[in-house]
Amino acid sequence: MTVRPITIVGHKALTQRTRRVREVTDELRTLVADMFETNDAASGAGLAAPQVGSRWRLFVYSCPDASGTLRRGVVLNPVLERFGGIVLDEETLEGCLSVPGEGFPTARHRGARVTGTDLDGAEVVVEDEGGVLARALQHEVDHLEGSLYLDRLAPARRREALDAVRDRGWRARNLLTWDPRELDAADV
């Protein structure tokens, strides 16, 4: 397994819709193993394929559900269903490995269910209401649609987020990826 560089806001891969996985190959299995390794190295709640420069419609997750139980897995070709009211808690900051070191209150549905398949073709259903997992499921599927959580922010928060991104100087340094083995997210 390999820790892959994580794409940063401004990278083309983060704005493109992904392609449906039609066949699980050895290459795809390696990608998923590397994504777990990368997510773990970055202490992430989840990681979508575009965040490591891949266009496949899949993500990995490793985070607690509403009961505090750590949930970990992979979902290929996820279909998202949101439920419960939309919640915006000013105290809960949503972050993203592709916007390292930043976090902003983001409105999300209280609950989410994702259906898809695993690497062996078995049906996968992942559901949570009120936990980090519910937010992560919505967040990762957004990545697969070519969207970042920054796109969901209220206008004033979005401006604040874009100013923070600019202040980090990633564009000025032509920095489009970061390596979690070498840098902490806050230091990128």
**Catalytic-residue membership of 81:** no
Rounded CA Rg of the chain: 16
Amino acid at 20: R
Q: Is 109 assigned to a binding site?
A: no
Q: Is 11 assigned to a binding site?
A: no
Selected catalytic residue, list 27, 129, 140, 145: 140
Is beta strand 177-178 parallel, antiparallel or unpaired with respect to 103-104?
unpaired
Angle subtended at Cα 66 by Cα 113 and Cα 7, rounded to the nearest 5 degrees: 65
End-to-end CA distance of the chain: 23
DSSP state of 77: E
Token code pair at residue 40: 């773990």
Question: Which residues fall in the annotated binding site for Fe cation?
Answer: 96, 139, 143
Question: Which residues fall in the annotated binding site?
Answer: 96, 139, 143
Residues designated catalytic: 140
